[in-house]
């Protein structure tokens, strides 16, 4: 089974890509809705949550664990790799992809405050920006409006566009915007309409799915229950769970019911 987690609904965008690439693999997605958001919590708190989630997913049979959350990856993945004997795949802002691409302009990275403050983010810029201008941007409301599904209301979408325009200003031609928070993937269309059509928006889902495939194939056959019998499980750490995300269709057309779990 592939274990996938995030602070809430954002990682469903990563799960979607994993399922697209590996339709016969079992998945268990845990939304830590009881602790959402991770973006402004202390690193100690986030590490503690990620450790408890990892224990639960391993207990349920995970062969690989995907941190479908930039914040959790930046803050906790090293610690998890040191503590557990299982492969982890993380999600990092795609600065290398942006810098290696054909667009010559500056790179804007939209992310949470925790991701922006992390040493891992600084190191990504140092290693991969290749001399390009990289500007970190934090817009507080973005993860919350995905989590509660309200981004689908026209007045909320308008407010998102207003804040994005105000924060980013007029972007020079050839600019790229890196979505450094998995929740923002669901806002891609709204963000694109707030920006010049020539601004490229980069999101990591497909690359993460390919990395999961690489890790799993190095361990043996990917299918765990056989075609037609695949199990897709949704878990959440609050009673309300993913209800708003499911109502908003973020988990696809016919998602399984969401089970409430308590982390030990
Ligand atoms: N989805 C998380 C990420 O990719 C952030 C949301 C939160 O603040 O919990 O960073």
CA–centroid distance, residue 202 to ligand 1 (Å): 16
Is residue 87 domain-shared with residue 132, that is, in the same domain?
no
Nearest to 9 by CA among 151, 196, 176, 144: 144
**205/203 Cα distance (integer angstroms):** 6
Least confident range of 112-116, 124-128, 196-200, 256-260? 196-200
Mean pLDDT score of the chain, rounded to an integer?
93
Distances (CA, A) of 109 to 30, 74, 76, 224: 26, 14, 20, 37
Is residue 183 domain-shared with residue 103, that is, in the same domain?
yes
Which atom belonging to ligand 1 lies closest to the Cα atom of 181? 4
Is residue 199 domain-shared with residue 99, that is, in the same domain?
yes
Q: Is 59 exposed, middle or buried (0-12, 13-18, 19+ CB in 10 A)?
A: exposed
Is residue 181 domain-shared with residue 84, that is, in the same domain?
no
Atom 8 of ligand 1: nearest residue by CA position: 39
pLDDT at position 223 over 70: no
Tell me what pLDDT residue 101 has.
Answer: 86
Atom 2 of ligand 1: nearest residue by CA position: 69
**234/110 Cα distance (integer angstroms):** 27
**178/200 Cα distance (integer angstroms):** 8
Q: How far is CA 86 from the centre of its chain?
A: 20
* pLDDT band, very low/low/confident/very high, at 197 (cuts 50, 70, 90): confident
pLDDT at position 224 over 80: no
**119/148 Cα distance (integer angstroms):** 30
Which residues contact ligand 1 via a Cβ below 6 A? 6-7, 10, 36-39, 69-71, 112, 115, 143, 181-183
Last residue in a domain, options 156, 184, 203: 203
Cβ-based neighbours of 172, under 8 Å, separated by 6 or more: 105, 106
* pLDDT band, very low/low/confident/very high, at 169 (cuts 50, 70, 90): confident
Domain residues for 108? 95-203
**Which residue out of 12, 14, 38, 50 has the highest number of ligand 1 atoms within 8 Å of its CB and is therefore the one to mutate?**
38
Asked if 57 and 100 count as a contact pair (C-beta separation under 8 A), the reply is: no
* pLDDT band, very low/low/confident/very high, at 196 (cuts 50, 70, 90): confident
What is the model's pTM?
Answer: 0.95
Q: Which of 1, 15, 66, 69 is catalytic?
A: 69
Is residue 111 domain-shared with residue 197, that is, in the same domain?
yes
CA–centroid distance, residue 228 to ligand 1 (Å): 32
Last residue in a domain, options 156, 173, 203: 203
Asked if 134 and 109 count as a contact pair (C-beta separation under 8 A), the reply is: yes
Nearest to 109 by CA among 91, 85, 86: 91
Is residue 124 domain-shared with residue 149, that is, in the same domain?
yes
In total, how many domains does the chain have?
A: 2
Is residue 165 domain-shared with residue 66, that is, in the same domain?
no
Is residue 213 domain-shared with residue 182, that is, in the same domain?
no
Q: Which of 99, 145, 160, 181 is catalytic?
A: 181
> Residue 42 belongs to a domain with what CATH number?
3.40.50.1860
Is residue 100 domain-shared with residue 86, that is, in the same domain?
no
* pLDDT band, very low/low/confident/very high, at 81 (cuts 50, 70, 90): very high
Is residue 81 domain-shared with residue 110, that is, in the same domain?
no
CA–centroid distance, residue 171 to ligand 1 (Å): 25
Is residue 183 domain-shared with residue 143, that is, in the same domain?
yes
- Over range 175-196, report the average pLDDT: 95
């Amino acid at each position: 089974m592939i274990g996938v987690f995030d602070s809430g609904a954002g990682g469903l965008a990563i799960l979607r890509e994993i399922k697209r690439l590996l339709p016969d693999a079992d998945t268990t997605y845990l939304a830590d809705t009881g602790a959402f958001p991770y973006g402004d919590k202390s690193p100690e708190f986030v590490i503690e949550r990620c450790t408890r989630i990892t224990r639960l997913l391993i207990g349920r049979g995970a062969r690989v664990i995907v941190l479908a959350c930039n914040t959790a990856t930046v803050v906790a993945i090293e610690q998890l790799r040191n503590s557990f004997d299982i492969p982890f795949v993380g999600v990092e802002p795609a600065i290398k992809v942006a810098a290696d691409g054909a667009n010559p302009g500056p790179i804007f990275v939209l992310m949470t405050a925790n991701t922006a403050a992390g040493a891992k983010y600084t190191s990504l810029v140092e290693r991969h920006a290749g001399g390009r201008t990289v500007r970190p941007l934090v817009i507080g409301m973005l993860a919350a409006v995905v989590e509660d599904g309200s981004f689908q209301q026209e007045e909320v979408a308008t407010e998102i566009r207003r804040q994005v325009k105000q924060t980013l200003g007029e972007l020079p031609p050839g600019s790229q915007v890196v979505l450094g928070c998995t929740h923002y993937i669901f806002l891609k269309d709204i963000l694109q309409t707030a920006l010049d059509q020539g601004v490229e928006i980069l999101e990591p889902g497909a690359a993460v799915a390919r990395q999961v495939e690489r890790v799993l194939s190095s361990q043996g056959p990917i299918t765990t229950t056989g075609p037609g019998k695949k199990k897709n499980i949704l878990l959440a750490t609050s009673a309300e769970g993913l209800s708003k995300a499911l109502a908003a269709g973020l988990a696809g057309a016919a998602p399984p019911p969401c089970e409430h779990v308590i982390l030990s």
